[in-house]
Chains A and B, each alone.
Chain A
């Protein structure tokens, strides 16, 4: 196996070689920051005024140091920029990202957010302070070189070993190394070990990130009572800790305590309203709870605060319109569509949201010819392979039924059901549609045949795999996948049997490529699903084992 580059133990930092990016909306501040940096020898400095320019620069060349103001005027703020950079893997772990904040309030929120910068500077600050902070971080990142190197090569085991080396040999970085190791253990699905690690840190001192890590490890092992207790106590001591509210809502959802889940998200939003994903989740949970007012505010906020965020998708427009429709506020629906017309027209998914929403609105007002036109647009988009999220598709099915287009409705429902054959909530919603249309029996048969086919193929595949007949199991599950190409459970089972099959008969390049594609799709459909980590690991394992054999044969 290849090895990371040799360790440079020197504590010397060559600032002249460092490439820096300054992101600040005020020209005066940019200039002052440039002079501050040049004070301690940083001369390769690029300066930009906003997040969009920053992303453009970062995509063009890599930077060692990004100094970014939290408040960037209109457009994305510094935290949103950071989230985008980390989410899109646009910056390496070695890159130092420092946030400049004007208010110590933000700093608290930023410090305890899940995606924290390497450090933050409270404005205004002296050149000396910036220099000593930066030096400290650069030296730390240097000490973490092996850890990062293995991590970026996706060799998480080796990355853990490198963390252990730091824990034992570099006491100064021991706590940082424990923190990184905890995240690696969670990524690997080794939740019990993660729990023990966080417990070890907490016994040194109950620092918030360690308690949050502990709660997460507990939650991932379905020890939700203990997780909730931990989180409630954390929040009593550190009420600004927004990430704890997010996790608490997950815990409550799993406990089916939907009211408490909503309450947790509302508290998180009250502290930090800008995080798009928190608003999305609040909207979904509140909608599920029938609290349409809260859902509408949250979905409104998603579009408002997330106007410049990559985390906003056409589904978010659909979500807002759905609530407005259910509230009978057709004027607001028209307004939403009008205001966001150009955004929605820009891609087929957006066009689908628009057409589905219009078809429902026109049906409501009794304008059936317009409704039919909108449904024709939808049919055209669907024929080209455009699809929306399950909620939108069920809305569509409802509109089709209301316009007497029952065959179309059945096809849409069947597609949703195949791809979510084990989602009780969605199947129940589909059933309600048929009940309301007075077609209960028809619905039962559509749902039974759609889920039955997939379930049967899936079960047969799994049983065959358990018996060791991986070849036939693969065939069954691949058929299931072609029936239900977005069903995360089926996708994950298919990946699992393909890996077993390769294990048994040796490398099959086409098969492993199929498995890779399906794993990616599963990750898209069910991000953060607990099974994904294990599958990724098995994939990696198969790849390295057979990769080595291939090389040895040559």
Chain B
């Protein structure tokens, strides 16, 4: 029998993702008992599992983006639905440990054009970061800013370290506690959205915590 590397790779990924899917769904079903130690470890297991899942998605996309630029597949989506969807995911991950709030400004358009999967991936990474760093509250927001749709994740953490703010602003790599890929990836996703020459942006800032903003033209 001939051994086909690509097929093997595809089959392996398929199986790993299946197992990971079953694992995450199994974890979802472990009931919380109102018993601090038990609940905390279930919570962290869930969070870690979801983190692995999201990381794997990211890694596969970056693996592809290494050879060719990211081509977003644009379509019309509702920013309102997107914010609700992200918030529902964040709430499930937070398991009542943190407040998840949403706010959709009155000027938010009913439809906007973007690649939903890419944008979701960028926002989910921000949610994971916020879940790690926030003290009590995460806020997901949509509004218009300078003709772009701004999607934000705010938290009440101590804020981004100065060197991260600077590096991301200049598009330079940075030292991070984790892989440090998440924010760079979010920036790539933002910039792959192009509307008649106007590129999307990732803006990081500190307000009363970290503010992650994705600006989509």
State whether the Cβ of B176 lies closer than 8 Å to any Cβ in chain A: no
Q: Give the Cβ gap from A133 to chain B, nearest Cβ, in Å.
A: 8
A96 nearest CB across to chain B (Å): 16
Docked complex Cα distance between A125 and B84 (Å):
16
B73 to chain A, nearest CB (A): 5
B111 contacts A174, C-beta separation under 8 Å: yes
Residues in A neighbouring B61, C-beta threshold 8 A: 104
* Stretch touching chain B among A50-58, A148-156, A204-212, A529-537: A204-212
A105 contacts which chain B residues (CB < 8 A)?
60, 64
Q: Can you give 23 A-B contacts (C-beta < 8 A)?
A: A29-B18, A32-B22, A35-B25, A36-B25, A39-B28, A103-B60, A104-B64, A123-B17, A126-B92, A127-B92, A128-B88, A129-B85, A129-B88, A131-B88, A132-B88, A136-B78, A172-B111, A175-B75, A204-B113, A205-B76, A205-B113, A209-B75, A239-B71
Asked if A171 is an interface residue, CB under 8 A from chain B, the answer is yes
Does A28 sit at the interface, judged by CB under 8 A?
yes
Chain B residues near A131 (CB-CB < 8 A): 88
A165 on the B face (CB < 8 A): no
Q: How far, in Å, is B129 (CB) from chain A's closest CB?
A: 18
| A28 CA to B20 CA, complexed, in Å | 11
A132–B85 touching, CB < 8 Å: yes
Given contacts A102-B17, A104-B60, contact A122 B117 (CB under 8 A): yes
Is A107 engaged at the interface, CB distance under 8 Å to the other chain?
A: yes
Closest to A24 in B: B18
Q: Report the separation of the CA atoms of residues A128 and B25 in the bound assembly, to the nearest whole angstrom.
A: 11
A208:B74 contact, CB within 8 angstroms: yes
State whether the Cβ of A26 lies closer than 8 Å to any Cβ in chain B.
Answer: yes
B89 within 8 A of A: yes
Pairwise interchain contact A207-B75, C-beta atoms closer than 8 A: yes
Return B170 CB to nearest CB of chain A, in Å: 27
A124 touches B64 (CB 8 A): no
Point out the residue from B73, B76, B84 that lies within 8 Å of A108, measured CB to CB.
Answer: B73
Q: Mark A68-107, 1 if CB is under 8 A from B, else 0.
A: 0001000000000000000000000000000000111101
Interchain CA distance A127-B22 in the complex, whole Å = 12
Residue numbers in B under 8 Å from A206 (CB-CB): 74
Residues of A within 8 A of B22 (CB): 28-29, 32
Q: Which of A123, A171, A239 sits near B18, CB closer than 8 Å?
A: A123
Q: Which of A29, A102, A108 has the most CB of B within 10 A?
A: A102
Partner of B21, one of A32, A39, A136, A172: A32
**Chain B hits for A172, CB < 8 A:** 78, 110-111
Quote the shortest CB–CB distance from A40 to chain B (angstroms): 11
Picked from A129, A136, A171, the residue with its CB within 8 Å of the CB of B110 is A171
Flag A27-39 by CB within 8 Å of B: 1 or 0 each. Answer: 0110011011001
A111 to B75, CA, bound (A): 10
| A129 in contact with B25 (CB, 8 Å) | no
Task: Check: A266 CB closer than 8 A to any chain B CB.
Answer: no
- Which of B50, B89, B111, B195 gathers the greatest number of chain A CB atoms within 10 Å? B111
Within 8 Å of chain A (Cβ to Cβ): is B207?
no
Interface string of B1-33 (1 = CB under 8 A from A): 000000000100110011111101110110000
Known contacts A104-B61, A136-B81, A172-B110: A26-B75 contact under CB 8 Å: no
Q: Which of B57, B74, B75 makes the CB contact (< 8 A) with A122?
A: B57
| Bound: A234/B92 CA distance, A | 39
- CB of B18 within 8 A of CB of A111, answer no
Indicate whether A411 reaches chain B with its CB closer than 8 angstroms. Answer: no
* Chain A: minimal CB distance from B72 (Å): 9
**Residue ID in chain B nearest A175 by CB atoms:** B76
Q: By the criterion CB–CB under 8 Å, are B60 and A123 in contact?
A: no
* B53: Cβ under 8 A from any A Cβ: yes
